Amino acid sequence: MSAKVSGTEGYAEEAEALFKQYESIPAADAHRAVLRLIPAMPGHVLDIGSGTGRDAAWFASRGHSVVAVEPTDAMRLPAMALHPSPRIDWLDDSLPDLAALRARGETFDLVMLTAVWMHLDEAQRRQAMPKLAALMRPGGTMIMKIRHGPVPPGRRMFEVSAEETIALAGNEGLRPVLNVRSESSQEKNRAAGVSWINLGFVKGKERS
């Protein structure tokens, strides 16, 4: 399955280097722009595209129970070894369908997509957004960190606007609460003109 998941191109081949790169930056630093949206009280967190497991481990250390979704074996299996935690449930699944995850029937207080959304083309993004919204509990939060700038060789990425993403989320009853651009944490990427858009959404609570 892993080799066929669109958007994962290049990750298996570069897994070792990516582990060093991602794990060298503390999660709290990487997510400084969105920290205020992350629940302080322990809850149920979904980390889609969990990569090296850095963020999943950070959420677990803060008391959250985490479902970490990662379709690339060369990332997920070492991540499980590097970050063993009874609070993390690892799952081989992928956007836009998330079929295995949705079959579980769970909903989440926080849905996190870091460096994931720009791997989906326009049709996949339209397909994925309703599924993401359905995974959020009423009053729950979704955070998206979307990369902008030159595409690394061998990767599949698209330029995705905040406006399009906010409109798709709005169609599903998700209210935007954050739209901030930030620099890359990596010096080499900053020099290359890479930046990030940090978006936050809250799902409207159901009326009784």
The C-alpha atoms of residue 93 and residue 67 are separated, in whole angstroms, by 11
Q: What is the pLDDT of residue 151?
A: 79
Q: What is the pLDDT of residue 7?
A: 47
Q: What is the pLDDT of residue 2?
A: 38
The verdict on whether omega for the bond into residue 130 sits within 30 degrees of 0, i.e. cis, is: no
Q: Which CATH architecture has domain 2-203?
A: 3-Layer(aba) Sandwich (3.40)
Mean pLDDT by 10 residues, the chain (208 residues): 45 62 82 94 96 95 97 90 96 96 97 94 97 98 91 83 97 97 66 83 75
Question: 34-54 burial string, b = 16+ CB within 10 Å, else e?
Answer: beebbbeeebbbbbbbbbbbb
Q: What is the pLDDT of residue 169?
A: 98
